[in-house]
Amino acid sequence: MGWWGVGAMQEDALSKAERYRKAANKFGEMAKQAEPGYLAEAFRKVAVRYVFMAEDVMRDAEHRRRFSQMRPRGDLEHAKNGC
């Protein structure tokens, strides 16, 4: 796997989080319509899980962005050259 720029990671995180949010909405809507009640509850739990996954992706992207700002770019070149 090659080196991704921070912008590419951020964009990927945004699109992944958006997919998770759409899935959460879909399962939330399915829960409203579902019968019997245990099926509705299962759909609600899946929806909540997708919300948490979206939050995790965005939190991870933010941590990566902060880390990349802390590390000087020269350090990366030294690591590539085996110094």
Reply yes or no: is the peptide bond before residue 72 cis, omega within 30 of 0: no
Model-level pTM?
0.69
Q: Could you tell me how many helices (H) and strands (E) the chain has, helices first? A: 3, 0
pLDDT in tens, 55-74: 999 999 888 888 877 766 55
Instruction: Indicate if the pLDDT at residue 81 is higher than 60.
Output: no
Residues 6+ apart with CB under 8 A from 12: 4
Q: Any idea of the CA torsion for 37, 39, 42, 43, to the nearest 10 degrees?
A: -100
Asked if 21 and 50 count as a contact pair (C-beta separation under 8 A), the reply is yes
